[in-house]
Amino acid sequence: MSEIAAAAPRTWRRPKLIPDARLRWGLVVLALAYVFLALMDVDVNWPRVMEGLGRAVQFLQAFAQPDFVTRWSEINEGIRESLAMTFTSTALGILLSIPVGIGAARNMAPIPVYLVCRGIITVSRTFQEVIIAIFMVAMFGFGPLAGMVTLSFATIGFLAKLLAEDIEDIDPTQVEAIRATGAGWMQVVVYSVSPQVMPRLVGLSMYRLDINFRESAVIGIVGAGGIGATLNTAFNRYEYDTAAAIIILIILIVLLAEYASGVIRKRLQ
């Protein structure tokens, strides 16, 4: 008995995430080397940063007393435009992403359709809304219409991808059962696919509504309408109190939208 106790180790060490010591230290050294190289390339203009700290304090003070009044008509118009863009682009985006999503599901579409739809999704997901907005502004002119088209396109990348993944994961026996009754492709979609993916599609659409509002606040920077243009102007004029007011409004609306979409999602599921 005492022999066993003597042989057993008295201390315990927790197992490491990567058991192989050489691999572990190799990764650590590599990571440190990368961070060092990357930091070398960040040249910071320290005098400029020091000078800016005063402005940072001013900005924080502006949050204590935001100015909603002076530029209220511009803020009001910007928010209305942003909301209009959000609603229309989400609706249009949902309508367009349903066919694209079905087309991008491997179990529903033939190969050529699948490749085209996957291509649309990849392009839409890769490029930031702002880059798409630059092109849309060049085509449709300044204003919220360009923003609406941009956000609709971005919505396709998000919704169609998740919808396609959902459709690929559906229970195939239900599809077989409907098909066995002699149903055509369209009837299979309506009676066996859509009931299985609908609750999640509704939830994701609500979530996207929320994202679209946030995005509508930035695409104004390149001229696509909405509150972003007002915010950018406020920064350029160094009107921090107006900028703070706009940022507070954006946060409030996002909070409200998140809460509302949470309630709706809960009720629908």
Partner 1 sequence: MATFECDGKRCWRYLEPRQSLWMWLGWLLTVAVLVVSLRAIDESTMWIFVWDAASRGADIAERMTPPRWSYMSVLWKPLWDTINIATLGTLLGMVVSFPVAFLAARNTTPSAVFVRPLALLVIVSSRSINSLIWAILLVTIIGPGLLAGIIAIALRSIGFLGKLTYEAIEEIDPVQVEAVAATGASPAQVLDYAIIPQIMPAFAGISVYRWDINIRESTVLGLVGAGGIGLQLQSSLNILAWNQVTLILLMILATVIASEWVSAKVRHAII
Footprint of partner 1 (CB under 8 A): 14, 17, 34-35, 38-39, 41-45, 48-49, 52-53, 55-56, 59, 80-81, 83-85, 87-88, 91, 122-123, 126-128, 130-131, 134-135, 138-145, 148, 214-215, 217-218, 221-222, 225, 228, 231-232, 235, 238, 243, 247, 250-251, 254-255
Alpha-carbon distances of 204 from 11, 17, 108, 150, rounded to whole Å: 51, 35, 21, 19
Single out the residue of 216, 230, 229, 199 nearest to residue 89, CA to CA.
Answer: 216
DSSP code of residue 173: H
Give the contacts of 136 (CB within 8 A, at least 6 positions apart). 146, 147, 149, 150, 153, 224
Smallest gap, in angstroms, from Cβ of residue 52 to partner 1?
A: 4
Q: Whole-angstrom Cα distance, residue 50 to residue 226?
A: 33
Smallest gap, in angstroms, from Cβ of residue 184 to partner 1?
A: 21
Rg (CA), the chain: 26
- Comparing CB distances to partner 1, the nearer of 89 and 175 is 89
- Comparing CB distances to partner 1, the nearer of 68 and 87 is 87
Ranges of beta strands (E only) in 177-226 are none
- Comparing CB distances to partner 1, the nearer of 108 and 136 is 136
- Comparing CB distances to partner 1, the nearer of 177 and 256 is 256
Amino acid identity, position 52: G
Smallest gap, in angstroms, from Cβ of residue 151 to partner 1?
A: 12
Smallest gap, in angstroms, from Cβ of residue 128 to partner 1?
A: 4
Smallest gap, in angstroms, from Cβ of residue 195 to partner 1?
A: 10
Smallest gap, in angstroms, from Cβ of residue 174 to partner 1?
A: 17
- Comparing CB distances to partner 1, the nearer of 26 and 52 is 52
Q: Whole-angstrom Cα distance, residue 151 to residue 80?
A: 16
Smallest gap, in angstroms, from Cβ of residue 187 to partner 1?
A: 16
- Comparing CB distances to partner 1, the nearer of 2 and 73 is 73
Instruction: Determine whether 174 is exposed, middle or buried from the number of CB atoms within 10 Å of its CB (0-12, 13-18, 19+).
Output: middle
- Comparing CB distances to partner 1, the nearer of 9 and 15 is 15
Q: Whole-angstrom Cα distance, residue 146 to residue 65?
A: 34
